[in-house]
Chain A
Amino acid sequence: DSGVTQTPKHLITATGQRVTLRCSPRSGDLSVYWYQQSLDQGLQFLIQYYNGEERAKGNILERFSAQQFPDLHSELNLSSLELGDSALYFCASSRGGGSNEKLFFGSGTQLSVL
Chain B
Amino acid sequence: AQSVTQLGSHVSVSEGALVLLRCNYSSSVPPYLFWYVQYPNQGLQLLLKYTTGATLVKGINGFEAEFKKSETSFHLTKPSAHMSDAAEYFCAVSGNTGGFKTIFGAGTRLFVKA
Contact = CB atoms under 8 A, between A and B. Distances in A.
Interface of A: 2, 4, 33, 35, 42-43, 45, 48, 55-56, 58, 90, 92, 97-100, 102-103, 105-108
Interface in B12-45: 32, 34, 36, 41-45
B100 A90 contact: no
A110 to B, nearest CB: 9
Interface in B69-114: 90, 94-97, 99-107
B46 interface: yes
Given A58-B101, A100-B51, A107-B43, 15 more contacts: A2-B45, A35-B104, A42-B106, A42-B107, A45-B101, A48-B101, A55-B100, A92-B43, A92-B44, A99-B94, A99-B95, A100-B32, A102-B46, A103-B102, A105-B45
A42 B49 CA distance: 20
Nearest to A91: B43
A90 B36 CA distance: 14
A43 B106 CA distance: 7
B46 A107 contact: no
Contacts of A45: 101-104
CB-based closest 9 A-B pairs? A105-B43, A43-B104, A99-B94, A100-B51, A42-B106, A56-B101, A105-B44, A100-B32, A56-B99
Contacts of A4: 43
Contact of B102 (A2, A33, A42): A33
Nearest to B49: A102
Nearest to A4: B43
B42 A107 contact: yes
A99 B102 contact: yes
Nearest to B103: A45
A76 to B, nearest CB: 15
Nearest to A35: B104
B46 A100 contact: no
A104 to B, nearest CB: 8
Nearest to A106: B43
A43 B90 contact: yes
Contacts of A35: 104
Contacts of A98: 100
